[in-house]
Amino acid sequence: MKVAIFGGTGFVGTYLIDALLSAGHQPLVLTRPGSEGKLEQPERCRLTPGYIEDREAIAATLDGADAAIYNIGILREDPARGISFSGLQLEGAKRAMDAAVAAGARRFLLMSANGVRADGTAYQRTKLEAEQYLATTGLDWTVFRPSVLFGDPRGKQEFATQLYRDIIKAPLPAPLFYEGLWPSNPGGYAMSPVHVEDVAHSFVASLEDPRAIGKTFPLGGPEELTWKQILQIIATATGRKLFALPAPAFGIRSLATLFDRFAFFPITRDQLTMLLEGNTCDGSEAFDTFGIDPKSFNIENLAYLKVNDSE
């Protein structure tokens, strides 16, 4: 099967391409000029240079495709560079969906996110609106909503690596955020970290599985872990001690109000809001359907943190 992929050069995208190739599919990849070097196996892909704003480049990527995967997403906006949730997670997705219809690529897989909702943050709203638009296209669609993803970043941005570098290795105590004036269960908000390989295999297994058509699958790992537990596991995996203190969310939120439009500030108001909401989900339906034994967020599966840190 020839599979067009939008968002193939980032952390998750490279694993999606690996899984496609392992299953005997040919990836047709839209690549921003200069980003070809981010691919692990470019010689085995058909590359089309261009941007997600370019309808001609999207159409060229989909030429001859049997299916498409939309995996473009961002964690924060950059207004100065014209990078927005609406532009990439909604309008770009709609262009790719419309082009898939025109090209006759009936199968369409969408990377969404756990916790999307109409009254949520801009990140959550645009992800949901892309899902809603996909349902109107007549395509044979499947939506995946993962919790936080982890796995060897291969030099790219990744959840556990970022926490290790920005929090565990930092000279300051790790923040255990809490709402209100007094610490009440600081760091108690939970997540279901899911391994990137399990997510990639779910996508690829769904391509030719009719049971997946018209389905929305949550993708959470086998454990629900609190923020404090996640930090402790990362610290143990890297041979460090965890020093943590309760931190009032209102203080960080106040600073973010002033500085989160600047890239140097580590967290935005919306990211803090979503962190405190928690990010748990049950991925068993997808993993049972596709015959996947999901990897745990444990010391063994986080060994890449110590290896990458020593390089």
Domains of the chain (ranges plus CATH)?
Answer: 2-148+194-220 (3.40.50.720)
Q: What mean pLDDT do residues 301-307 have?
A: 96
Q: How confident is the model at residue 162 (pLDDT cuts 50, 70, 90)?
A: very high
Burial of 74 (0-12, 13-18, 19+ CB in 10 A): middle
Q: Which residue has the higher pLDDT, 228 or 40?
A: 228
Supply φ then ψ for residue 44, to 5 degrees: -100, 5
Select the more confidently predicted residue: 59 or 181.
59
- Cα 182 from Cα 247, distance rounded (Å): 10
Residue 311 above 80 pLDDT?
no
pTM of the model: 0.95
For residue 109, name the pLDDT band (cuts at 50, 70, 90): very high
pLDDT of residue 285: 98
pLDDT of the residue at 304: 98
Q: Using CA atoms, how far apart are residues 237 and 133, in angstroms rounded to an integer?
A: 42
Beta strand extents in 50-92 (DSSP E only): 67-70
CA separation, residue 86 to residues 13, 124, 156, 203, 237 (Å): 20, 10, 23, 24, 37
197 closest CA partner among 2, 42, 35, 23: 23
